[in-house]
């Protein structure tokens, strides 16, 4: 029997879309989920295993059982804003869990390609598109944890020969994303307004920042492309290469709403520091893998609204 592909954090938002993509390849998948979580989707060809990645012994046993041919390491704490008040959990989820994964592979003498999902938040802020060789200087606990996670993956490649692939993901959005994030928050509010459950006012935070926003289905295609041909131990920007102001994103959602809506800023939704521009250059990713973004932002907005209307 062929070795399976392991997806950690498979019960989450990105994990659900990656499972759908890998299912098209007729791949045998071992999907890890944290205790107390439930998958967002279920499907054939997926073997679910409950693993607490904070527990070194549990991770080692699960790796010995799975003996994966490839690992997509999506497990972690995903929210930048929450990282200020939940710093310990952020570092445990992003750094300690990654350390346990690579340690288990090393002890089991396994060296599959391991894709680690880092973040654009590792970069020092810049007023132009970011390249992989730009300065790294995170300005929030989440970004710091992601940089440490990258360092764990690089060390595993340099010292242990385990091919760690580093995906620096920029903003990615789509159906099934938690409403604590901006785009699904807007979509959910609009769906509730249309259903008569809320007054026709969108509550939002800072409208000025410009973000590189990509559809999650393009993001997971990039991860699969990286698994096939990215160079280990080197970071890759996973991004659209286009910056959209939050107010433009808002306008796009309101255009697709079925009722008139006004916008109101809510000071409680502002972050301690909000980088004015986060924009990436994906040239390296495209050159090394042939990947390119395909889903237009308008389609993402329509699909997000359709998802929340169905909820």
How do the domains of the chain map onto residue ranges? 5-172+215-238, 173-212+241-280+295-310
25 vs 244, residue with greater confidence: 244
Structure tokens at 234: 């080197």
**Residue 68 near residue 3, CB atoms below 8 Å:** yes
- pLDDT for the residue numbered 113: 98
- pLDDT for the residue numbered 160: 97
In this predicted model, what pLDDT tens digit does every residue of 288-306 receive, in sequence order?
999 999 999 999 999 999 9
In this predicted model, what pLDDT tens digit does every residue of 90-129 receive, in sequence order?
999 999 999 999 999 999 999 999 999 999 999 999 999 9
5-172+215-238 CATH, one of 3.40.50.150, 3.40.50.2300, 3.30.160.270, 3.40.50.720: 3.40.50.720
SS (H, E, C) the chain: CCCCEEEECCCCHHHHHHHHHHHHCCCCEEEEECCCCCCCCCCCCEEEEECCCCCHHHHHHHHHHHCCCEEEECCCCCCCHHHHCCHHHHHHHHHHHHHHHHHHHHHCCCCCEEEEEEEHHHECCCCCCECCCCCECCCCHHHHHHHHHHHHHHHHHHHHCCCEEEEEECEEECCCCCCCCHHHHHHHHHHHHHCCCCCCEEEECCCCCEEEEEEHHHHHHHHHHHHHHCCCCCEEEECCCCEEEHHHHHHHHHHCCCCCCEEEECHHHCCCCCCCEECECCHHHHHHHCCCCCCCHHHHHHHHHHHHHHC
pLDDT above 60 (res 135): yes
- pLDDT for the residue numbered 268: 80
pLDDT above 90 (res 10): yes
Beta-carbon count within 10 A of 242 CB: 15
- pLDDT for the residue numbered 1: 46
Alpha-carbon span 32 to 34, nearest angstrom: 7
Q: Burial letters for 115-137: b for 16+ Cβ neighbours within 10 Å, e otherwise?
A: bbbbbbbbbeeeeebbebebebe
pLDDT above 80 (res 79): no
Residue keyed to tokens 């999650």: 216
Q: On the CB side of 1, how many CA atoms lie within 13 Å of its CA?
A: 9
Superfamily of the domain at 173-212+241-280+295-310: UDP-galactose 4-epimerase, domain 1 (3.90.25.10)
In this predicted model, what pLDDT tens digit does every residue of 245-280 receive, in sequence order?
999 999 999 999 999 999 988 888 776 667 899 999
The rounded percent of the chain whose pLDDT value lies above 90 is 85
pTM of the model: 0.95
**Residue 258 near residue 197, CB atoms below 8 Å:** no
**Residue 168 near residue 117, CB atoms below 8 Å:** no
In this predicted model, what pLDDT tens digit does every residue of 204-259 receive, in sequence order?
888 899 999 999 999 999 999 999 999 999 999 999 999 999 999 999 999 999 99
């Amino acid at each position: 029997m062929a070795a399976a592909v392991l997806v950690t954090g498979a019960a989450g938002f990105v994990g659900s879309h990656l499972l759908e993509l890998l299912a098209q390849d007729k791949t045998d998948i071992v999907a890890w989920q944290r205790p107390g979580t439930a998958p967002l989707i279920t499907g054939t060809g997926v073997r679910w295993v409950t693993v607490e990645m904070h527990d070194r012994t549990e991770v080692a046993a699960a790796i010995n059982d799975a003996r994966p041919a490839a690992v997509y390491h999506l497990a972690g704490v995903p929210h930048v804003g929450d990282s200020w008040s939940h710093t310990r959990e952020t570092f445990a989820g992003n750094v300690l869990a990654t350390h346990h994964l690579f340690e288990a592979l090393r002890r089991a003498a396994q060296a599959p390609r391991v894709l680690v999902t880092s973040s654009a938040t590792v970069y020092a802020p810049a007023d132009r598109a970011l390249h992989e060789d730009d300065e790294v200087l995170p300005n929030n606990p989440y970004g710091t944890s992601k940089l440490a996670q990258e360092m764990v993956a690089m060390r595993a490649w340099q010292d242990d020969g385990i091919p760690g692939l580093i995906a620096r993901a920029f903003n990615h959005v789509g159906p099934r994303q938690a409403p604590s994030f901006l785009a699904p928050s807007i979509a959910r509010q609009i769906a509730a307004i249309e259903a008569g459950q809320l007054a026709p006012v969108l509550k939002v935070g800072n409208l000025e920042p410009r973000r590189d926003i990509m559809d999650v289905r393009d993001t997971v295609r990039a991860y699969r492309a990286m698994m096939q041909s990215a160079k280990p131990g080197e970071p890759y920007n996973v991004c659209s290469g286009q910056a959209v102001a939050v107010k433009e994103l808002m306008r796009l959602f309101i255009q697709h709403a079925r009722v008139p809506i006004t916008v109101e800023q809510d000071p409680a939704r502002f972050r301690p520091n909000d980088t004015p521009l986060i924009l990436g250059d994906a040239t390296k990713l495209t050159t090394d893998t042939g990947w390119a973004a395909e889903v237009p932002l308008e389609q993402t907005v329509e699909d997000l609204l359709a998802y929340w209307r169905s909820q």
